[in-house]
Amino acid sequence: MFKSFSIGVQGKIAVLLLLVVASLCWLTHSVLRPQLLVAVEEQLSKGFAVKLDELEKLALTEGGALSERWFVQAQQLVAPDNIFLVGRKADSQLHVLNGDSERLLSANEVLVTYLDSAVDTYSWIEHGPQGALFGAIALPPDPESGRRYLILQRNIADWEAIFYGVVQRYFLGLFVVLLLFFGALAVLFWRKVRVRLQHMVQVSEAVAQGDLTARTSMPTDDEIGQVAAAMNTMMQRIQASQEALLNNNRQLDDILHHIPSWVFIKDLQGQYILTNRRFDEAFSERGPLVGRTVYDVVEPNDADRFVEYDQEVMASKQAISRRVSIVREGEEHQLLLVKFPLLDVNDAVYGICSVVTDLSNVEQTENLLNISRSIFENTREAILITDVDRKILDVNQSFERITGYTKSDVVGLDPNFRASGKTQDGVYRGMWQALEAYGHWTGEVINRRKDGQEYHERLSINSIMGRDEVVTGYIGIFQDITEEKQVSENLTKLAYRDPLTDLHNRESFKIRLADTVSYAKRYRSSFGVLFIDLDHFKEVNDTQGHDFGDQLLVMVAERLRGNTRTVDVVSRLGGDEFTVLVPGEVTESGLAVLANQIITVLSAPFVIEKQKVMIGSSIGIAIFPRDGDDIELLLKHADAAMYNAKAQGRGCFSFFDFNINARNQRMIKVKHALRSAIEDKEFSLVYQPKVNPAQMTLTGYEALIRWDSAQLGPISPAEFIPIAEESGEIERITDWVLQRVATDMQVSNVLDRSNVSINISAKQFRSDAWINTLRELDANNLINAHAITIEVTETALVDSFDKTLEQLQALRDLGATIAIDDFGTGYSSLSYLKKMPIQYLKIDRSFVKDIGVDPDDQTIVQTVIVMSHALGIKVIAEGAESQEQVDFLSAQQCDEIQGYYFAKPMPLQDLAKFSLQEPAEA
C-alpha cells in the first residue's frame, strides 16, 4: 500500500518539475524579451538628446576626436548621476574606466557588467572618427540581488539582436541551475515524505503490539500529516475505551471482593467459575473452589437444596430470594440467599450468580447493642452523649443519680450548663484541643448538682467518629470523686505536715531544702542545715508509753519553733529526728549560737502529766555549699556530723568535717569489695513469704539479697545498696538477682507456682538494661513475667517520672505486677500515685512497727488502706512482728502482710518446709 503511494508521489514531482521548466522557457521567450526591449528603448530615449547634444558639442570642439579633456569633462558631466563606469574610443578600442583602473574593449565587443550604486538608467553615445556609435544603459536594480547591470553596445540599431544573443547565451546556464535546484528540492521532499511514512509505520506496529500510548508527531499541513492526526485520534479513542473498560473491571472487582457477602457464579453444570474473597475465606479449608461444585463445599443435604434453587432459576429465568440455614464447624448459620440468571445476547442462560449474606453477625450485632444499652443504663459511672454541636442527646440513670438532673431536664443543653466556675478556663481549652488533636481527653473538673452543691468529677471524653472518619458527636463518662478528693486532701496534708507536731515532714522539708539550694546557687549565698536527734527519747517512750512520748515530741516542736526565726524551716523527719533549715548568709559562729540555744532549751525539764522529764539533743551542722551542693549530700553530711556529736558524748553539736567522717572509709572498703562480689559468688538470695490474712494463704515471696563478704563479713543491704547505686554496681547486681530468681523458680517446686517480688532500685530506671533482661528471660521461657512483681520506691517516680512511667507500662505489657515500696517515706507519696499503672502499694515498716502504740501511725495506715482501695490498688504491709499488728491490719482489710510474725526471710531449700500453721518467732 505504502509503496504504490510512494511511486505516485514521485510521478507528481516529475510532472511538476517539467511544468516549471516549460514555464520558464515560455516566460523568457514570450514575456521577458519584449518587456526588456521596451524598457531599454524607454530608458535610452530618456535624456538621450541632452546627452547626445552635450557630447557632440564636446566632440566638435575637439576636432571630432575624443581627448583627455573630453574624457574628464564627460566624467564630470555624468558624475552627478553616480555613474562610475565611462568609456572612450581610441584606436578602434573602447577604453573603460572604473575608478583609477582602465581596461580595453574591442569595437565589436559587448561588455555586460554591473553597478553597485543606486542610480537611475543612463545612456551615452560617442561619434568616433570612423563614425562608430557606442551606447550604454544601466538597467533597474535586480529585485533579488540588488545589483544593476550596465550593457555597452557599439550600435543602437543592433541592440535587439545583441541583447537577444546575450539572453540566449545565458539561458542554458540558467536552465541547468534551475534543473539542479529543483532536482535537489525533489530529493529532499522525497526523503522527508519517506521518513514520515516510516515513522507512521513504526507507530502502527507499536499499536499492533498493544502499546496504545504510541503517537505520531508531525505537522498536519498536508495529506500525510492529516492521516497521522487521524491515526492519533483513533488511538486516543481506543486507549480511552480500554482505560474505561479497565476501570469498570477494577470497580466490579473491588465490589466483588469487598462486599460483605459470599458472591459466586456457576456454569450450567454447577461448577464454580468465579468466587469472591469472602466466599473463598469462608471455605478456605476446602482449597481452591473454581472448577468444583456445591457438593464439595457444604453437606449433601444442603447441597441438594442449593441445586434445586439453581434449577428453579434456570427454568424461570427469574431471580429468587430464600432464607436458609446451614451448619458450619458445628455452628448454625442463618443465610439470606439471592440467585439470578446470567443471560447471553440470545436470552439464553449461561450461568447463575448467587449472593449469600450471613445473618448470624447481624443477630450478634443486635445482641451486642442490647448488651451495650444494658451497660449504658446500669453502669455506676455517669454517661452523657452529645451531638457534634455539643447538645446533649442522651444520659443514663447514673447521670441522673449523681447530678440530680433528669434526662428531660438536660436533652438539648450544652453540658457546660453544670459548670461551677471553679474549673480554670485553661482546662476547658486543653480539653477541646485534645479532642480535636487526639479524639479523647481525661481530666478532673468541678461541676454543680441540681441542688447547687459542688462536686468533683473525673471525666473522660471521647469523640464519636462516623464511617467517613468525621466527628459526629461526643461521649462523656464521669465519676463523682468528691469523697476521694477529700481523702486525697487529707492525705496531702499528711504528706507534707507531720500530723503529730504540725511541723514540716520529711517530704516538705526536702522540697523546701531543694528550693533553698536553687536560690543559693542562683544568688551565690549560703545557708545551714541542723540535724537534731533527741537523746534518751527512746527510753522515755518505752517506759512511759507512746502517748507520753507523743506529748513530749509536741513540746519539743513548740520549743524549736519558739527559738527559731519565722523564716527558718523546722521539720520532723520521723521518730525523734528533727531538722532546722537556716536560710540566708550564715557563719559557723552564728550557727553555733543557734545550736547551743537549741541544746539548752531542749535540756530543760519537760513537765508531762505532772512528771518532770529530762532529755537532751545532739546536733550535726552542714553548710551550703562548703559541705555539699545538693540536698542529699547536705542531709547526709549533717547526719554524719550528728552521729559524730553523739560519739563525743551527746548533748553537743558538731560541724561536718571530712577528716572525722570515719564512715567514708567504710564506704570506700564496701565499694571496693562490691566490684568482685558477683565473681566471688558472695551474693545469695533469701525469700520472705507474703500472706493473705483473710484466708491465711501464701500469696507469694519477696526475694531479698544478702552479702557475705570474704573481706568485710556480712553486710546489710541497707549499707551496700546505696553504695552500689552511687558506684553504678547496682546494674550488675540487679541483673544477677533477675538471673538467680529465674534459676530458683525453675528448680523449686514452691517458687515455680508462686509470685515472686523483686526490688528494683530507683537508679535503675535511668536505663532500660534491667527491663531488657527481664524481657529476654521471659522470651526464652526462663522466667514467667506474669509471676513477677517489681517493687519500686517512690524516689523513682520523682527522679524521672516520664521514663519511669514508660518502663512500668512496658512491665505491664509483659504481664508483670507493679508495687510501690516504702510508701509514705519517699518524695511524693501521692502526687503521682493515680497516674502510675500499679497494682500494689506497700506500707513502710516504720508505720507498721508502732501499730498499737502510736495512734498517728494507725491513722496513717488506716487512711492509706482506704485511699488505695478507693483507687483500686491492693495494699501490702511489711514489718508485721506482733499479733496486735496483724489483727489491726486484718481488721482494716489489708490485702497482704509480710513480716517476722509469719516468717523470717529463708533460703531456697527451706521454703518447702515452711508452714503457716505456727507463726514464726519475732
Helix then strand count (H, E) for the chain reads 27, 33
Give percent of the chain with pLDDT exceeding 70.
74
Mean pLDDT (whole number) for 531-557:
88
Longest dimension (CA), the chain: 182
Residue 728 gets the label, from left (phi > 0), alpha (psi -120 to 50) or beta, of left
pLDDT given for residue 854 in this prediction:
80
DSSP string, 728-756: TTHHHHHHHHHHHHHHHHHH-TTGGGS-E
For the packed helices 717-727 and 662-674, what is the interaxial angle rounded to 10 degrees? 70
Kindly report the number of other CB atoms within 10 A of residue 727's CB atom: 15
More confident residue, 720 or 543: 720
Question: Do the Cβ atoms of 303 and 297 come closer than 8 Å?
Answer: yes
pLDDT in tens, 562-604: 999 989 999 999 889 999 999 988 888 889 999 999 999 999 9
pLDDT value, residue 148: 42
Which residues, at least 6 apart from 404, have a Cβ–Cβ distance to it below 8 Å? 449, 450, 451
Residue-wise pLDDT for 443-457, tens only, equals: 999 999 999 999 999
pLDDT value of position 904: 92
The strand pairing partners of 707, in sequence order, are 683, 715
Give residue 17's pLDDT.
60
Cell of 772: 531488657
From the list 577, 569, 402, the residue with the least C-alpha distance to 483 is: 402
In angstroms, what CA-CA distances link 742 with 699, 706, 778, 813, 908? Answer: 18, 17, 9, 19, 13
Q: What percent of the chain has pLDDT over 90?
A: 26
**Do the bridges between strand 148-153 and strand 111-115 make them parallel or antiparallel, or are there none, so unpaired?**
antiparallel
Above 90 in pLDDT, residue 607? yes
Q: What is the pLDDT of residues 53-92, one digit of tens each?
A: 444 444 334 333 334 443 444 444 333 333 333 344 344 3
Q: Give the mean model confidence (pLDDT) for residues 252-270.
A: 81
Which H or E element spans position 623?
A: strand 616-624
Report how far residue 526's alpha carbon sits from residue 782's, in angstroms, rounded to the nearest whole number.
54
Alpha helical stretches, state H, 751-794: 769-779
Cα separation of 643 and 637, whole Å? 10
Question: What H or E segment, with its residue span, contains residue 378?
Answer: helix 360-378
pLDDT category at 149 given cuts 50, 70, 90 is: very low
**Which residues are CB-neighbours of 851 under 8 A, at least 6 positions away?**
857, 858, 861, 884, 885, 888, 889
Give the range among 89-98, 278-287, 312-321, 374-383 with minimum mean pLDDT: 89-98
pLDDT-wise least confident of 137-146, 241-250, 447-456: 137-146
Span of 348-352, 450-454, 656-660, 682-686 with lowest mean pLDDT:
656-660
Mean pLDDT check: name the lowest of 238-252, 302-316, 632-646.
Answer: 238-252
- pLDDT in the model for residue 317: 85
**pLDDT attached to residue 128:** 34
Q: Identify the pLDDT of residue 15.
A: 62
Name the strand (E) or helix (H) holding 477. Answer: strand 471-480
The C-alpha cell that represents 345 in the structure block: 445476547
Per residue in 740-753, pLDDT (tens digit) is 999 999 998 888 88
3-state secondary structure of 309: helix
Least confident of 15-19, 802-806, 879-883: 15-19
Question: How crowded is the C-beta side of 62, counted as CA atoms within 13 Å?
Answer: 21
DSSP state of 406: -
Cell reading at 421: 466556675
How much is the pLDDT for 665? Answer: 62
Residue that the C-alpha cell 535537489 belongs to: 184
> Based on the number of CB atoms within 10 Å of its own CB, is 478 exposed (0-12), middle (13-18) or buried (19 or more)?
buried
pLDDT beyond 50 at 758: yes
3-state secondary structure of 134: strand
Residue 67's Cα: distance from chain center in Å?
Answer: 109
Q: What distance in Å separates the CA atoms of residue 893 and residue 693, rounded to the nearest whole number?
A: 8
**Tens digit of each residue's pLDDT (9 = 90 or more) over 179-231:** 777 677 667 666 667 777 777 777 777 777 777 777 777 776 667 777 778 87
d(CA 860, CA 823): 11
pLDDT over 90 at 686, yes or no: yes
Q: Which residue has the higher pLDDT, 376 or 450?
A: 450
Q: Is the pLDDT of residue 162 over 50?
A: no
Most confident of 49-63, 142-156, 234-248, 847-861: 847-861
Q: Is 613 helix (H, G, I), strand (E, B) or coil?
A: strand
Among candidate residues 188, 238, 241, 192, the one with its CA nearest the CA of residue 212: 238
User: Do the Cβ atoms of 724 and 737 come closer than 8 Å?
Assistant: no
Q: Which amino acid is at 336?
A: L
Would you state the torsion angle of the CA atoms of residues 194, 196, 202, 207, taken in this order, to the nearest 10 degrees? -140
pLDDT band of 20, cuts 50, 70, 90: low
Tell me the one-letter amino acid at 690.
K
- pLDDT, the chain, mean: 77
Q: What is the pLDDT of residue 65?
A: 39
3 state DSSP class of 91: coil
d(CA 596, CA 519): 27
CA 742 to CA 751: how far, in whole Å? 10
User: Which residues 6+ apart lie within 8 Å of 6 measured at CB?
Assistant: 193, 194, 197
3-state secondary structure of 210: coil
Contacting residues for 224 by C-beta, under 8 A, at least 6 apart: 193, 196, 197, 200, 218
Neighbours of 881 (CB within 10 A): 19
Q: Given phi > 0 = left and psi -120 to 50 = alpha, else beta, which region is 131?
A: left
Helix axes 68-78, 48-61, angle to 10 degrees: 160
Say what the pLDDT of residue 455 is.
92
Confidence class of residue 619 from pLDDT cuts 50, 70 and 90? very high
Strand partners, 709: 713
- Residue 572, pLDDT score: 94
The angle formed by the CA atoms of residues 303, 309 and 312, to the nearest 5 degrees, is 145
Give per-residue pLDDT as tens, 778-834: 999 999 999 999 998 876 666 567 778 888 888 899 999 999 887 766 554 555 677
Q: What are the Cα distances from residue 521, in Å, to 44, 141, 238, 573, 580?
A: 121, 105, 83, 25, 19
First vs last C-alpha separation in the chain: 117
Region for 47 from its dihedrals, namely left if φ exceeds 0, alpha if ψ lies in -120 to 50, beta otherwise: left
Least confident of 676-690, 795-809, 864-878: 795-809
Tell me which DSSP letter residue 921 carries. P
Averaged over 107-128, what is the pLDDT?
A: 36
Omega before 625 cis (within 30°)? yes
Q: Work out the pLDDT band at 503, boundaries 50, 70, 90.
A: very high
Long-range contacts, stretch 45-54, CB < 8 angstroms, 24+ apart = 46/121, 46/123, 47/123, 48/123, 48/125, 51/123, 51/124, 51/125, 52/125
User: Is 80 exceeded by the pLDDT of residue 135?
Assistant: no
CA distance 763 to 765: 5
Work out the pLDDT band at 344, boundaries 50, 70, 90.
confident
CB count, 10 Å around CB of 131?
Answer: 7
Q: What is the DSSP letter of 781?
A: T
Give the helix/strand (H/E) hosting 667: helix 662-674
Task: Inform me whether the pLDDT recorded for 47 exceeds 90.
Answer: no
Coarse DSSP helix, strand, coil percentages of the chain, rounded to the nearest 5 percent: 50, 25, 25
**Is the model's pLDDT at 321 over the cut of 90?**
no
pLDDT for the residue 171: 56
What are the residues whose beta carbons fall under 8 Å from the beta carbon of 457, sequence distance 6 or more? 444, 445, 446, 447, 478, 479, 480, 481
Q: Does position 254 have pLDDT exceeding 80, yes or no?
A: no
8 A C-beta contact, residue 135 and residue 104 = no
Q: Which of 652, 634, 633, 631 is nearest to 643 (CA)?
A: 652
